[in-house]
Structures are given as structure tokens and as C-alpha cells.
């Protein structure tokens, strides 16, 4: 696959033991450059769909890998989509963040904020996923929110089994309706969907050198990527966003109700993630998300009461 798409002669491949949706290899070639080969195994968005988001991002000044191939291949276990990409320069922020001082990490996050602003400059034609024919799943904010409420409501028993009360769950659904009414989005933008340290590469100067893995991209309000960035944070969400926001620059969402908007969006994400992990039997992940959801719930109750 690499040889046909790049014209280079591969000499070695190394499996990258990261990620879930894709089987990923780093392929070294005779002439020196490395390439990344990804075979799609799970997830709704296939490589051929990712290409659109990557092309739009490149046009907006986002450093993304070059795509040499994206399409179907035949393997012993059947047909799968795959792609061949250039290897981006630098290192993933997830690998080096523990060795950085706070000013250094802030510098990297500010650069990531600048790049995220470029991604969000791309207008989406609708909400959630973009299908291969170019049509988005939801044409309006109202239909998107109603679908989210319906989906979360159907997961009631799973969320209650995780330790939440009926009153807690009713409050959550009420807050999702409030979110839809209070913070309407008339123009969705492209969101990376999985904007976290493992997908953000930086150079020696801690400037972003590459953004990888658009396998969860979607059309959504810009708050979505900020919410996902903090989704599994052990600390208070706002503390982790300060440098990212500085790099991003002025935006109407950063008003005096930003914390409320952020937690409302995180509420929907965390409810969905909790139900998914619980149904899969991933007890440790479900426990972690339960703790984060409880924190979000407590914050929303405090904000509702004006404290």
C-alpha cells in the first residue's frame, strides 16, 4: 500500500500501539522518509471521509499530514478502508507534557489554541457527521439537540446504575434542554472532535507542527473542542483552558457565561461516554467518567443556584 501510493520502497514497519479505531504502522523507506499507514477497524468516520476535513484544514493553515492514499483494501478478514499519510514532524504533546514546566506547557497550549482557531474558521454545512455524499446528519441546531436528548434519555437505566439518582438524571435532561434553548448555534463549524495532547504535535520551540487523526471530526459549535479538551481532566476544566483560550483569541463564547456553556456541553458528552463504557463493560473507564460527570453535575447545580 505504501509502495504503490508513494513510489518509495519500504524497508521496515513498526506497529504503533496507540489508538482504538485504527491499526497504525510507521513505515520506513529506503530513501529515508517515514510514512504512516492506517487500517480502519472501528468508528463511524472512515478514512475517505477524513480526507475532506484534512483538506479543508490545510487550506485554513492547519499543519496536517499529506494524504497519499485513502480508500478500500482487501485483507484476509475482508475489505477495509485505509490511508497512507506523511509522518508529521515533532513529538506528540502527550509524550513530553510531563517534562515541561508550566510556562513551557502554556506556550504549547497557546500554539494549540491558535491552530484550533484556524480549524474553527471552517464553516460546516450541518451538525454532527458529514456523510460521504456531503450531507450532514442534522441541518439545524434544534434537531441536533433533540437527537442528543433522545439518545441520553434512552440511556437512563445505564446512567442510574452508575450511581446517579432519578432526580440527578431529570436535572441533566432539563439542563440539556436549557442548553439548546439558551445557547443556539446558527452556524456550525468544523471541530476536530478529538483535540487532545496525543493528537497535537509540537516542535522543539513548542509550536504546533502537526495535528493528526480527524477520525472524530464533526460539525458543531466551537465549544465542542474545548469541552473535549477538558473531558477527562483531573483538575478543574477552566484551569486547563486558560492558555488554550489565550492562543485562540477573542470570541463571543468567552463571555461571562463561558463556564456554564462549557459544562452544559460537557454534560452531554460525559453522559454519552459513560453509557458507552458501561455497556462495553469497561468498569475502570466508566468509574473515571462517573467521577467527572458528578463534578460537572455539581458545577451546574451551583451555577443554577447562583453560587
β 22-29/10-16 pair status: antiparallel
Contact call for residues 213 and 125 (beta carbons, < 8 A): no
Three cell numbers written together for 261: 456553556
Q: Residue 201 phi/psi, 5° resolution?
A: -100, 140
pLDDT score for 231: 82
Give the per-residue pLDDT at 234: 59
Q: Is 306 exposed, middle or buried (CB count within 10 Å of its CB: 0-12, 13-18, 19+)?
A: exposed
* Cα distance between residue 268 and residue 180, in whole Å: 11
Q: State the pTM of this model.
A: 0.94
Provide the residue count of the chain.
Answer: 307
CATH number for 2-86 (one of 3.40.50.150, 3.30.200.20, 3.10.180.10, 3.10.310.40): it is: 3.30.200.20
d(CA 153, CA 133): 30
Contact 92, 199 (CB under 8 A): yes
Q: Which fold has domain 91-304?
A: Aminoglycoside 3'-phosphotransferase; Chain: A, domain 2 (3.90.1200)
Do residues 211 and 244 touch, judged by C-beta distance below 8 A? no
The pLDDT averaged over each successive group of 10 residues in the chain (307 residues) is 95 82 92 92 90 98 97 92 96 94 96 98 98 96 98 96 97 98 97 95 98 96 95 65 96 95 96 93 93 94 79
Closest CA to 245 of 233, 227, 270: 227
**Per-residue pLDDT at 254:** 96
- The residues, ordered by sequence, that sit 6+ positions from 90 with a Cβ below 8 Å of its Cβ are 201, 202, 203, 204, 209, 210
Cell of 134: 456531503
**pLDDT value at position 32?**
79
Q: How far apart are the first and last CA of the chain?
A: 58
184: enclosing H helix or E strand: none
DSSP-derived secondary structure for 52-106: HHHHHHHHTT---PPEEEEEEEEETTEEEEEEEEEPPSSEEHHHHGGGS-HHHHH
Nearest to 54 by CA among 79, 28, 86, 89: 86
Q: What is the DSSP string of 245-301?
A: HHHH---TTSSTTHHHHHHHHHHHHHHHHHHHHHHHT-HHHHHHHHHHHHHHHHHHH
Domain ranges of the chain: 2-86, 91-304
Contacts of 180 (CB under 8 A, 6+ apart): 141, 142, 145, 146, 149
**Cβ atoms of residues 112 and 204 within 8 Å:** no
Amino acid at each position: 500500500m505504501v509502495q504503490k501510493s508513494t513510489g518509495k520502497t519500504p524497508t521496515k514497519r513498526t506497529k504503533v500501539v496507540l489508538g482504538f479505531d485504527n491499526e497504525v504502522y510507521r513505515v520506513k523507506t529506503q530513501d529515508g522518509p517515514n510514512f504512516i499507514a492506517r487500517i480502519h477497524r472501528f468508528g463511524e468516520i472512515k478514512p475517505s471521509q477524513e480526507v475532506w476535513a484534512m483538506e479543508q484544514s490545510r487550506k485554513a493553515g492547519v499543519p496536517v499530514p499529506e494524504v497519499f492514499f485513502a480508500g478500500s483494501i482487501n485483507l484476509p478478514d475482508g475489505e477495509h478502508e485505509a490511508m497512507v499519510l506523511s509522518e508529521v514532524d515533532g513529538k506528540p504533546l502527550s509524550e513530553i507534557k510531563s517534562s515541561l514546566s508550566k510556562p513551557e506547557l502554556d506556550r504549547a497550549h497557546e500554539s494549540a489554541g491558535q491552530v484550533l482557531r484556524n480549524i474553527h474558521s471552517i464553516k460546516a454545512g450541518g451538525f454532527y457527521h458529514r456523510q460521504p455524499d456531503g450531507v450532514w446528519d442534522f441541518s439545524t441546531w434544534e434537531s441536533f439537540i433533540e437527537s442528543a436528548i433522545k439518545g441520553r434519555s434512552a440511556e437512563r437505566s445505564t446512567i442510574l446504575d452508575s450511581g446517579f439518582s432519578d432526580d440527578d438524571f431529570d436535572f441533566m435532561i432539563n439542563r440539556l434542554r436549557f442548553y439548546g434553548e439558551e445557547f443556539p448555534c446558527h452556524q456550525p463549524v468544523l471541530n476536530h472532535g478529538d483535540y487532545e495532547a496525543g493528537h497535537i504535535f509540537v516542535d522543539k520551540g513548542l509550536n504546533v507542527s502537526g495535528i493528526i487523526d480527524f477520525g472524530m471530526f464533526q460539525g458543531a459549535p466551537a465549544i465542542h473542542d474545548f469541552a473535549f479538551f477538558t473531558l477527562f481532566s483531573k483538575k478543574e476544566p477552566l484551569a486547563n483552558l486558560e492558555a488554550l483560550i489565550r492562543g485562540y483569541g477573542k470570541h463571543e463564547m468567552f463571555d461571562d457565561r463561558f463556564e456554564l456553556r462549557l459544562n452544559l456541553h460537557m454534560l452531554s458528552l460525559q453522559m454519552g461516554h459513560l453509557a458507552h463504557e458501561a455497556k462495553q463493560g469497561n468498569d475502570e473507564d466508566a468509574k473515571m467518567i462517573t467521577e467527572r460527570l458528578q463534578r460537572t453535575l455539581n458545577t451546574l447545580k451551583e451555577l443554577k443556584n447562583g453560587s
